[in-house]
Amino acid sequence: MAEFDPDLFESLRLELRRGSLVLAVLSRLREERYGYTLRQALSDDGLEIEESTLYPLLRRLESQGLLTSEWREEEKRRKRFYRLSAPGEAMLAALTTEWRAIGASLDKML
């Protein structure tokens, strides 16, 4: 039996987290935010996400119609604000149900 492999743990942990990021991003965008403050909001809730992951993810979710965005001036700079769209709300609700079901199943097993 090999010893506990921290590198393997890290890669499995990232894999486990990956699916939950969409859910976290959607839920934090019930309130309008721009990328930098969104990242901080997620980080404050204990979910660190790299910019290089977050920004393309936002763009993808927008192209899928789950988010809307608009450029606005704030603090003397133009910023892109994102917010959950109506289809995004519905998707978030469906994904939340799914997430809870997965959690309940795993709770029974773990």
Partner 1 sequence: MKGLTKMDLIDRYLKAVAAQLPAEERDDIVAELRDLILSRFEAREEALGRPLTEAEQLEILREVGHPLVVAARYAKGPDALVGPTLYPWWLFAVKAGLMLLAAVSAIGAVVQVVLGEVSVGRAIGHFFHDVFTGGITLIGLATVAGFILERQPRLPSFMDRWRVEDLALFEVTRFERDAWERAASASGKRAEAAARDFPSPAGAAMIAAAWTLIVFLWWTAALDIGGVTPRDLGAVVGGIDYRPIVVSMVEALFWPIFAYLLARMVFHLARVGARPGDPRHVRGVAAGEFVFAAARLAIFAWVWTGSALAPLIRFEGIDGLVIRLEGMARGEFWNIPGILTIIAIAATAEAAGSMVANAARMLVGRR
- Distance, in Å, from the CA atom of 48 to the CA atom of 104, rounded to the nearest integer, reads 24
Task: Tell which residue, 92, 14, 26, has the closest CA to residue 100.
Answer: 92
Using the rule CB under 8 A, is 44 a contact of partner 1?
Answer: no
User: For the chain, how big is the Rg over CA atoms in Å?
Assistant: 16
Is 3 a binding residue for partner 1 by CB under 8 A? The answer is no
Determine if 14 is a binding residue for partner 1 (CB under 8 A).
no
For partner 1, which stretch binds (CB under 8 A), given 6-14, 15-23, 46-54, 92-100?
46-54
Measured at the alpha carbon of residue 27, what is the angle toward residues 21 and 31, in degrees to the nearest 5? 130
Distance of CA 3 to the CA centre of its chain: 33
Tokens 């204990």, located at residue: 46
83 binds partner 1 (CB under 8 A): no
Residue with Cβ nearer partner 1 (23 or 80): 80
- Told to check if 52 binds partner 1 by CB under 8 A, we report yes
Residue numbers of the site for partner 1 (CB under 8 A)? 34-36, 50-53, 55-56, 59, 71, 77-80
